[in-house]
Structure 1
């Protein structure tokens, strides 16, 4: 059997009371986190490029198959293309901001 348990009105209001937001980053903190995100992304692309170089060397020595080399090189190429497009969009956004009159 299901019983109705009533919560006093004061407790119900406390349950729906919005909680204060305390973790709002400042603009400087946001810039630092965005900068570190970009640095990590660029470091990841560089690591993929180095991995492709290693795979190429191992392929020449006969240690890996050609399909592994092709997959690694395509992944590195796609990462580089994505990074280039992101850079282009960031530059476009910066130029648009600079064109706006204050």
Structure 2
């Protein structure tokens, strides 16, 4: 992961910490979460598309840098694996909340 990707992952935490002293309405929280989720999904999609384009260009013989193609593919794979793990954790957290008794 690059420094930019790590900063992108930490951005929601920084945003949340800035609002600790302020009251955030449920609508604002939902909007912030939705925006963060859309940004993360867009980042994942861009990584996948970039990897696909470079792999296709390599197969067509348009580029010769196998090293760059493999690095891009690995970055794409790690980004997807991270997204899947975050999704699993979110589903587990949701299921745990649903099991709570009120």
Question: TM (normalized to structure 1)?
Answer: 0.73
Q: Does 1:47 align with 2:36?
A: no
Gaps of 5+ in 1: 1-20
Matched ranges for 1:11-22 at <5 A: none
Contact map agreement 1:49 1:76 (CA 8 A) in 2: yes
Question: TM (normalized to structure 2)?
Answer: 0.73
Q: Residues 47, 23 of structure 1: CA spacing in aligned structure 2 closer, same or farther, 3 A cutoff?
A: same
Q: Does 1:63 align with 2:47?
A: no
Post-superposition shift, 1:35?
1.4
Post-superposition shift, 1:64?
3.7
The residue aligned with 2:80 is: 80
Q: Secondary structure at the match of 1:43?
A: helix
Q: Which has the higher helix share?
A: 2
Q: Secondary structure at the match of 2:24?
A: coil
Gaps of 5+ in 2: 1-19
Kindly name which structure, 1 or 2, has the bigger radius of gyration based on alpha carbons: 1
User: How many residue pairs are counted as aligned between the two chains?
Assistant: 82
